Structure formats: structure tokens, C-alpha cells
């Protein structure tokens, strides 16, 4: 158990819909990262938050947005869903200081039909 | 910018064979290096890490040595098991707030 909690574990929805994925980082970790893992691709970094503020942005589509709340949990919002958005979405939190490792949640598997 | 390159898979081995998965990196400064493993249907787990040159990270029979002169961090195991079948990711953290991952290498171990 990494200490990072993600919900829901599985989600099936239709094209054009909107979903929200939720993540709670490890106790004490201030940073939250979101990654997308498609079937034929590696990990694609989406976005990072640190203590409520956006810190870094990767290959995140304009249809996607995220935020981190005062209690440090984070939500990733995916809207106007397309078939190609079907993927595993991982949340991770960073241990400690700059050279630390990421602890990953078990992921949310999104299927868009 | 920083980058990590891994050998492409899948790597298919018989049980008890020797494993090497190559990983090289490009980065300024002195990054920390990591290997993560992703078992089927699960998230990524940290397998081992090394924080400075010549450090050897080890865990569950896997080893990797931080070689600054060759900018490499190859993953090795002397005798693989079927249960080692997974995707392995090499990564680095270069004093920033983000990990840079390689593309992943799928390992398949046959009995």
C-alpha cells in the first residue's frame, strides 16, 4: 500500500461526457502529480500541484483540468470525453525533498464508449 | 532537457535466466535514479533507487548501479521468476519537482 488513494478504480462512460477522478496523497506529502497511461504508450505527465497551487504542466489537453484542495486531495476533471481518452490515470505524491521518489496510487481506469 | 532511454521490449526469458534491462539518461547535474515496476493491473511501485554516482540500489534480487561515466542505470537480476513478469520503468529526478520516466520495458518470464 503506497498510501496514495484514488477513486474510482474503474469508470465507464460515453463520449461527450464529463468525469472527475479523485486522489488523496500520502499523509504529509504536499505535491500531487497526475499521469495518463494509454495502452500503447508509456506514462504521460499531465499536471502537478504543490500545496494547492499548480506547479508544472505537461501534455494536458484543454478539455482536462485539475485542482488541489486545502486538505491536499486533488481532482482531475475530464470533459467532452473522446474514445482516445480511455486510459489509466495515475495520481502520485512526492516523498520529501527534491531528489525524492514518487508514490503512486493504483490508478483509475477510464473507458469511454 | 532531461531524458531517459530504455531498451524496447518485450523481453522474453525463461525462468532462472539472467536479466538485464538497459537504461541510459541525459541530465545536467547529479540526478537521483529509480526503477519502478508495474505488475499487471496495478500501479507503479518503487523497486530500487540510487542517489549518487557509484551507488548500488537493490531490492528483491534486483540490482542497478548508478554509473555517471556512462550515464547508465541498468537493471539486473541473476535468476528471474515467472512472478517478475511486469513492466519496468527507469526514471530520474534532477533536483526538480518532477520525475522523468523512460518508456517502460515489458518483461515476460516463461516457466
Give the DSSP letter string of B8-23. Answer: -S-EEEETT--EEE-E
The per-residue pLDDT for range B62-106, each reduced to its tens digit, is: 999 999 999 999 999 999 999 999 999 999 987 666 788 999 999
What residues of B are in contact with residue A48 (Cβ under 8 Å)?
97-98
What residues of A are in contact with residue B43 (Cβ under 8 Å)?
2, 90, 104-107
Give the cell for residue A23.
Answer: 486522489
The reply to whether B82 touches chain A by the CB within 8 Å rule is no
Q: What is the pLDDT of residue A41?
A: 63
CB A91 within 8 A of CB A74: yes
The reply to whether B31 touches chain A by the CB within 8 Å rule is yes
What residues of A are in contact with residue B93 (Cβ under 8 Å)?
98-101
Q: What is the pLDDT of residue A68?
A: 97
Backbone angles phi, psi at A5, to 5 degrees: -115, 130
Taking 70 as the pLDDT cut, the residues of chain A under it are 40-41, 96-99
Amino acid at each position: 500500500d503506497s498510501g496514495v488513494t484514488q477513486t474510482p478504480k474503474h469508470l465507464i462512460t460515453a463520449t461527450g461526457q464529463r468525469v472527475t477522478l479523485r486522489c488523496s496523497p500520502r499523509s504529509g506529502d504536499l505535491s500531487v502529480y497526475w499521469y495518463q497511461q494509454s495502452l500503447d504508450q508509456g506514462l504521460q505527465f499531465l499536471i502537478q500541484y504543490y500545496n494547492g497551487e499548480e506547479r508544472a504542466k505537461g501534455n494536458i489537453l484543454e478539455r482536462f483540468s485539475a485542482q488541489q484542495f486545502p486538505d491536499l486531495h486533488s481532482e482531475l476533471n475530464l470533459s467532452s470525453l473522446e474514445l482516445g481518452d480511455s486510459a489509466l490515470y495515475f495520481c502520485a505524491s512526492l516523498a520529501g525533498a527534491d531528489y525524492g521518489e514518487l508514490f503512486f496510487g493504483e490508478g483509475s481506469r477510464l473507458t469511454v464508449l | 532537457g532531461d531524458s531517459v532511454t530504455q531498451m524496447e521490449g518485450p523481453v522474453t526469458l525463461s525462468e532462472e535466466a539472467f536479466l538485464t534491462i538497459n537504461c541510459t539518461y541525459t541530465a545536467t547535474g547529479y540526478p537521483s535514479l529509480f526503477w519502478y515496476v508495474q505488475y499487471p493491473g496495478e500501479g507503479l511501485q518503487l523497486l530500487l533507487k540510487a542517489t549518487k554516482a557509484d551507488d548500488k540500489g537493490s531490492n528483491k534480487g534486483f540490482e542497478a548501479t548508478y554509473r555517471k561515466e556512462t550515464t547508465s542505470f541498468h537493471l539486473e537480476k541473476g535468476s528471474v521468476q515467472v512472478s517478475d513478469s511486469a513492466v519496468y520503468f527507469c526514471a530520474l529526478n534532477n533536483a526538480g519537482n518532477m520525475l522523468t520516466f523512460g518508456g517502460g520495458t515489458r518483461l515476460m518470464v516463461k516457466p
